[in-house]
Structure 1
Amino acid sequence: MGWGNGRSLGEISMRCVILGLLALVLPTLAVAQGGEQLLVPVPQGYVLAHSAAGPDGALQEYIPSAETLGAWSQMMTVRDFPALAGADPAAFHGNLIQSLTAACPTAQYAEVTATVERGAPVHIVLAGCPVSPVTGGEEWFLSKAIGGQTALYNVQGAWRGPATRELVEGWTILLRDVVLCDPARAEMPCPAP
């Protein structure tokens, strides 16, 4: 799977996203494809560090305001893939894990859940590299993929360092609030403005 932007596969796999463990998660990002809207709570204190859009989809990377893309401790990544509309989120994660294990021979991963939320298939995995070939350190991410009708959506919370209970629980809570809505579909109502 090509990730573009001239970044190595290992770098992309580990940078996938970092959602914050901050207690107040007030702002919400809405990524729209057609009538669908991906509602993503942006952790307080995080700023948009990088964004790109093209025919293959859109990418936004958020990091704590005092950090840089070259030196981050946590990151939230939001992506949409219009070409994967209707695709199985578990298959998407299968490809992601395959890329991760190719880049990091010591990679570890576990399926967290496979379910349906608001009429859309959802798959969540926890994955990491105990010794990243890019940074030499430990990197982990929790990834939520949602199969929409107009795109496949992926939100990841990533961090550098061990997968502590606090980090995993914090990102799990944040990803729980990532939802797909569509005003044209009764099972996916969008919140009132």
Structure 2
Amino acid sequence: MKAKVAVLFLAMTALPAALPARSQDSMTMTTPVFGQIVSYQLPAGFQPSYEEAGAEGYIQETVPAGETVNDWSQMITMTGIKDAEGHSDMLEGAAQVLAGHFQQACAETFTGTSFGATEINGLAGLVVFLGCGTVAPSEEGQEARSETAVIVYVKSAFGYVTVQWAERGPPVATRPEYEIDTWKPRLAQLLPIRLCDAVAGEEPPYLSCNAKP
């Protein structure tokens, strides 16, 4: 599903060490979100296509060149969600809510897997896989489809950040399976994911954050 801010309110153990090296053709995305700089790698071929900032949430969507946020085969989404209370189980709760939205869209072909708590550049993190074998059309002219996504949750000073890679395909009658040969390299391409405190007066590309090891 397209990750709208409203929806997102809703382990790989030692993940960075387990993943292969990322492509050198990626582009570093650095974005100010609620007083912090969020940095991640955007794989070659993707381009920023949508951005929205609100009082409680931020969303940034990128799709392959030539596609749109309304008609896409793959989408990489970064969000920042405010959570002033910052409960210890905040990431798990957020993941469960998003999983619930997936399940509502495809109750009989839904699948969801949490790989457990992990550490992302020294910050608490969580990685989950969600999928729908068949999502019914929501608008006239659309066709049924399958949809799968891997979502990385990272705890931040303001709440939490997500970086999600989603893929659409033809509908299937079964529950999608996590295909490690597909998703492990994709996760590697998004790393490193960094969160840095914003430096007063610093402008893009926020070199103080990108220079960190």
Structure-1-length-normalised TM-score: 0.76
In structure 1, the gaps of 5 or more residues are 14-21
Q: Where does residue 99 of structure 2 map in the other structure? A: 97
Please state how far the C-alpha of 1:170 moved relative to its aligned partner.
2.5
What count of residue pairs does the alignment treat as equivalent? 173
Within-5 A mapping of 1:149-168: 149-161=157-169, 164-168=179-183
Please state how far the C-alpha of 1:44 moved relative to its aligned partner.
1.4
1:133 to 133, 136, 151: 136
- Give the 3-state SS of the residue equivalent to 2:210 in structure 1: coil
Q: Which has the larger radius of gyration?
A: 2
Q: Structure 1 residue 114 and structure 2 residue 105: aligned? A: no
Contact 1:80 1:152 in 2 (8 A): yes
- Give the 3-state SS of the residue equivalent to 2:58 in structure 1: strand
- Give the 3-state SS of the residue equivalent to 1:149 in structure 2: coil
How large is the Cα RMSD of the aligned pairs? Answer: 2.8
Letter matched to residue 193 of structure 2: V
Q: Which moved more, 1:166-175 or 1:140-149?
A: 166-175
Please state how far the C-alpha of 1:131 moved relative to its aligned partner.
0.4
Contact 2:117 2:124 in 1 (8 A): yes
* C-alpha distance in 2 between matches for 1:25 and 1:89: 31
* C-alpha distance in 2 between matches for 1:72 and 1:167: 18
Q: Structure 1 residue 73 and structure 2 residue 88: aligned? A: no
Q: Where does residue 36 of structure 1 map in the other structure? A: 36
Contact 1:114 1:124 in 2 (8 A): yes
Identity of aligned residues (%): 24
Structure-2-length-normalised TM-score: 0.70
Q: Where does residue 169 of structure 1 map in the other structure? A: 184
Contact 1:86 1:148 in 2 (8 A): no
Q: Where does residue 192 of structure 1 map in the other structure? A: 211
Q: Which runs of structure 1 show a deviation greater than 6 angstroms over 4 or more consecutive aligned residues? A: none
Letter matched to residue 106 of structure 2: C
